[in-house]
Structure 1
Amino acid sequence: MVRLKFSANKLVVTGLAWACGAGIALAQAPGAMPLKDLSSFKAPGESWKVVGDVSADLKKANQLRTSEGTGVLVNEPGRRRKGADLYTNFEHGDMDLELDYMMAKGANSGVYLQGRYEVQLNDSWGTKKATSADNGGIYERWDEKTQKGFEGYAPRQNVSRAPGLWQHLKVSFQAPRFDASGKKIANAKILRMELNGVTIHENVELFGPTRGAIGNNEVASGPLRIQGDHGAVAIKDIKITNYNKPRPELNNLKYTVYKGRFEQEPDFTSLSPATEGNVAQLTSDLKQLPKDFLIRYTGTLHVKEPGEYTFNLNTAGGKGLMKVNNKLIVPADSRNQRGTITLPAGNVPVELLYAKMVEWGKPAVGLTVEGPGIREFQIGDAAAHINLREREPAGPILVDAPVNTILRSFMDIPSQDGKGRGTRVVHAVNVGSDEQVHYTYDQDNGNIVQVWRGGFLDATPMWYSRGNGSSRPVGAVQYFGDPAFTIAKLTSDKASWVSDTAGTGFRPKGYELDEQDQPTFIYQVYGTTVQDQVRALPGGEGINRQITVQNPGPNLYARLAQGSSIEAISKDTYLIDGKSYYLRMEDAGGAKPMVRDSNGRKELIVPVQGNKLNYSILF
């Protein structure tokens, strides 16, 4: 990894390390835990209930507002309701956990895997340097006799959202291993943890239970436990995937090597092998391989659990082909070397071809397998799985923002309806701050397209080798919809928003820097000049935006937000897009903002009556 920092407008290389590995993919087929009532839990305490909706107040500590219904699990401990931990009826070993949660202001809670290893849930909004006690941390261990706080793991970066906003957690957990006598032979692990779409832990070994565990002993299976005596928290959309089924085994593996360059599957009856033999496992570490070759592997897959299986084939420097149970699941011309098939229990034949055509590079063949109740695991050469998921040539090249920092690049924004390919912003200005709150400004539309918290930029796609000119945020991103103008002229407040520059007279005029190297963007539209100033809020709570319009003409509107929902929670504050972020109106220039429907979504617009608009985004 290369890490870069900007200081006094100078680029400094501050560290160099190398990282490689396939990583662990979180399962994509979890089972949802019903939250119609509390029947999924053992003897729930009086502070727990199931509700239909929940919200928090940014000014009131440890309080949540709820409404009747189902689907949301809420804990509200207090003087009248004694808080107690909540335990699931089921126990788990290897597991993927996925859920959404909301913290009240100043609240603290946690999720204990197997009741013993705590993942912190905490209001860490705006915290610059996270510890193991902060949101997403793996809490410390504790020993009264020797060490009073050790082996805690802080998240890689703080990507926590504000109280009252939904946060998304994904954990891939591997339980400790025991031999036949009950002796522990392998520690538990957090294989991967994501918070709000950002990896914050990977391959973390847990040497023992964390502080507050239900016991200092370790077990093969235990209940999921939610801390209930510390603070108000809401949880929804709990999804569990248990990995408790036996893995299939590849047996009776034989190989045959053919010399030459093979672009497609040959007729083997007309070929003479260069060498052949038996191997105990899938490998390309074979003797006397020619420069160009094809290896044909045949064997038997012993399937212990019937169901749907997915195979991911990786063949370094060449092509691969795979047949399972006499069915072609990975063709030789496939760029995505994945295939899925439903298999019965028992023995099924397997045939795999590896044709190496690129002379440089070490031969390597690898295979991953995942199935019903079986986490994806590797078969074959370890080298074949390096960057199997990302397939990145090098990196990452990270750019930090210890001071106000500007980096221009292309920026790819995903489609907000999930249907299109997204948009490449070609005149993107990425602005970073030491508050660890950053944003991207689209100079072609005079608008902010995204804001994020945590690390600044990954510039690997732009700077590695020839590059493609793009960078990407390192932290947790909040998108603001498909790129579009902030200012538009409408015939009425019901007219559709302007989608192109025709008739707008739009002209970007760059930006000016203040004494702290913070930009104010300038553009012309509809015959007026607009100055657009964006600043990080103190404490890293979000951003403030002040738009100055010189001599505004008639029928001008500003679109401040769009999303699936927009809810007014006070005179000047709105919750946007399913409680994704807050918008707080600081100064509407004498006009009244309005929420309207547009193409199945909501928009918050305001007439441009004065020459200034000022609002803040809290996230």
Structure 2
Amino acid sequence: MFRSICGVIPASILLFSLHGLAQTTLSFENLDAFQDPGKTWKLAGAVMADINETGDLTVSKGTGILVNLPTEKDKGEDLYTKASFGDMDLELDFLMARGSNSGVYLQGMYEIQLLDSWGTAIPSAGDNGGIYERWDESQPEGMQGYQGYAPRQNASKAPGLWQNLKVSFRAPRFDANGKKIENARIISAVLNGVTIHENIALFGPTRGAMAEKEMSSGPVRIQGDHGAVAFRNIKITPYDNPAPVLDDITFDLYQGRYEAVPDFSQLTPARTGQMERLGANIRGAEEQFLIRYRGELEIKHEGQYIFNLSAPGGAGSLAVGTEQVIAAAAGNLSGEIQLTAGTYPVEILYAKVQDWIPAGIGLEVSGPGIRTVQLSDLSFSRASGPDPILVDPKERPVLRSFMDIPGGSRITHAVSVGSPYKVHYTYDMDFGDLVQVWRGDFLNATPMWNSRGDGSSRPMGSVTYTQQAALSFARLQDLQQPWPSDTLGSHFKVKGYKVLSDDHHLQFEYESYGVSVSDELEFLTEGEGVKRVIKTSSAGENTYLRLARNASIQNLGEGLFLIGDKAYYLRLDDSIQDLADLRSIDGSMELLIPALDNITYFLLF
């Protein structure tokens, strides 16, 4: 039945991807996945970088982490996988020593740069996440490098923190004679949750490639002669199986509003025909209609297949062979089915009931060793929602909005502050606490300002979450008492905020437990993080400020603490280093400090 799903349907069109994965996770119990690893490549159980010392990376015995430790005597060698890959997705975590340099070469030919680019405001192709330049020695000095691609923004973290890189890569294509007919391509690259490249053609090997001539497959190569670096969780998903093909497509168009699947034997279509590719560009398919598509789906490799169907302005369904893979429903739909090699009859229904929304249908499929491929008209994927409404911190450095935090919580009185140093934060006025910081671009306010909006904005950079909704300032009977989960009994009262030396230099003010608190946040001008100064008046005994709560907090000495799974640092001012209290309670660790007249610390990420 269509009836129950033909209500208000979003006008925006979104195809989504669910891959049929045949993923390879490299084991770091040994180095067997690599060809002849050099002496500088080692396995470790843990790794630690000194945020202040260039090139310093210390390791602990064990396995699970791949480490490169070049020395003055042994400069190191690049590391190559034994396996070769064509089209693939690559994901890995990496950790840079201060000032260090490395890179990942796809097929041994195309380098994604890995670099300590902490604090760099405007990245180049040679910075972290950049697609390195090609090189022509015949050109004059300073002009040899060309066709490098800088990341859209610098989403890098500080040295000693784990970073995440995801790359979707399409290998070059060659004809039967070995002539290249299509360039290699970076479909997307995502650094620390931020898309830094999309649809980048690679016209040839980058500098330092393992060969001059491109090839259809090659190893993953990790640069090993430029500095200390660590890796973990390297996952490779190859896409080397032929994609399904949808052929012999016919359509029957029935005009009018259809809220249930009809008995087609009792209907006469207003229009029939054939099409080379699934689409809704049919004369008469403008306002309300039902289209019944039929075709033949060729499956060349046995496995589990996932289909995604979009039917804007109405509802859709999909049947493959004798099975209903996607039942009639609205929006972005998904279904999966186990198929053997062969040819299957396909039926797709598209009932459009909202006449003000343009007609269009999208169908895509993924399977074992098969990247998501679009079976419908390629123009459909270019349809999108409203143009994004982006906030420039130079024009509007402070924005009040709702802010959604992972885990389902929504901050209803969030104040987000942006800086020209590409570092930003969100403050929770309901609890007087700093909840997230990020590096890169500022805010996307489309959810807030488009149409009626939902009042929320979204960070556009690499986000580090610092706290969950809870008071940062509390009174405890003793250090065995759990931190309060709400403001009950605190007499918490918001006083607002004021602007200090710059538009992005704010001081928040509130009362809690009868104490007046001022909370000043200032950006570090080198883009390394945020300075926080909290002042109280007559706080009294057993009153504390909670600086951090996490599953792991490590005291690195001299007032420096490493929070979480190497997520960010806290550096305490010299005046309070000896007063910090690190406690374990309710399965988490908390870093507390007595509520003094002046508490200063730095959040570095």
* Correspondence for 2:509: 522
Structure 2 unaligned regions, length at least 5: 1-11
> Which deviates more from structure 2 when the two are superposed, residues 518-527 or residues 331-340?
331-340
Check conservation: 1:188, 1:207, Cα contact below 8 A.
Answer: yes
1:23 CA drift (Å): 8.9
Q: How does 1:53-92 map to 2 (within 5 A)?
A: 53-92=46-85
Name the structure, 1 or 2, with higher relative contact order (CA <8 Å, separation 6+). 2
Check conservation: 1:98, 1:238, Cα contact below 8 A.
Answer: yes
Correspondence 1:311 to 2:307: yes
* Correspondence for 2:7: none
Correspondence 1:160 to 2:156: yes
Correspondence 1:142 to 2:135: yes
* Correspondence for 2:458: 472
Among 30, 33, 41, the alignment partner of 1:48 is 41
Secondary structure in 2 matching 1:333? strand
Distance 1:141 1:20 in 2: 37
Check conservation: 2:15, 2:332, Cα contact below 8 A.
Answer: no
* Correspondence for 2:375: 379
* Correspondence for 2:441: 455
* Correspondence for 2:525: 538
- The letter of the residue matching 1:280 is E
* Correspondence for 1:487: 473
Among 491, 498, 513, the alignment partner of 1:505 is 491
Distance 2:345 2:495 in 1: 66
Correspondence 1:442 to 2:428: yes
* Correspondence for 1:555: 542
* Correspondence for 1:327: 323
Distance 1:29 1:334 in 2: 30
* Correspondence for 1:131: 124
Secondary structure in 2 matching 1:98? strand
* Correspondence for 2:292: 296
Secondary structure in 1 matching 2:573? strand
Secondary structure in 2 matching 1:385? helix
Correspondence 1:571 to 2:563: no
Among 203, 207, 212, the alignment partner of 1:207 is 203
Percent of residue pairs bearing the same amino acid type:
50
Distance 1:32 1:594 in 2: 40
> Which deviates more from structure 2 when the two are superposed, residues 378-387 or residues 422-431?
378-387
* Correspondence for 1:592: 579
Count of equivalent residues:
590
Correspondence 1:221 to 2:208: no
- After superposition, the C-alpha distances for 1:533-580 in whole angstroms (9 at most, x for unaligned) are 111123111111111111102321111111121111113111111100
Among 230, 254, 257, the alignment partner of 1:261 is 257
Check conservation: 2:75, 2:226, Cα contact below 8 A.
Answer: no
* Correspondence for 2:113: 120
Among 380, 399, 402, the alignment partner of 2:391 is 399
Check conservation: 1:591, 1:606, Cα contact below 8 A.
Answer: no
Distance 1:182 1:201 in 2: 29
Distance 2:193 2:537 in 1: 40
Correspondence 1:408 to 2:404: no
Check conservation: 2:15, 2:310, Cα contact below 8 A.
Answer: no
Distance 1:302 1:359 in 2: 34
> Which deviates more from structure 2 when the two are superposed, residues 352-361 or residues 118-127?
352-361
Check conservation: 1:63, 1:76, Cα contact below 8 A.
Answer: no
* Correspondence for 1:354: 350
Distance 1:209 1:60 in 2: 34
Distance 1:550 1:225 in 2: 58
Check conservation: 2:18, 2:306, Cα contact below 8 A.
Answer: no
Check conservation: 1:587, 1:612, Cα contact below 8 A.
Answer: no
- The letter of the residue matching 1:405 is P
- After superposition, the C-alpha distances for 1:343-364 in whole angstroms (9 at most, x for unaligned) are 1121222111011112234321
* Correspondence for 2:590: 603
Check conservation: 1:26, 1:172, Cα contact below 8 A.
Answer: no
Correspondence 1:581 to 2:577: no
- The letter of the residue matching 1:436 is K
Check conservation: 1:26, 1:96, Cα contact below 8 A.
Answer: no
1:85 CA drift (Å): 0.5
- The letter of the residue matching 1:438 is H
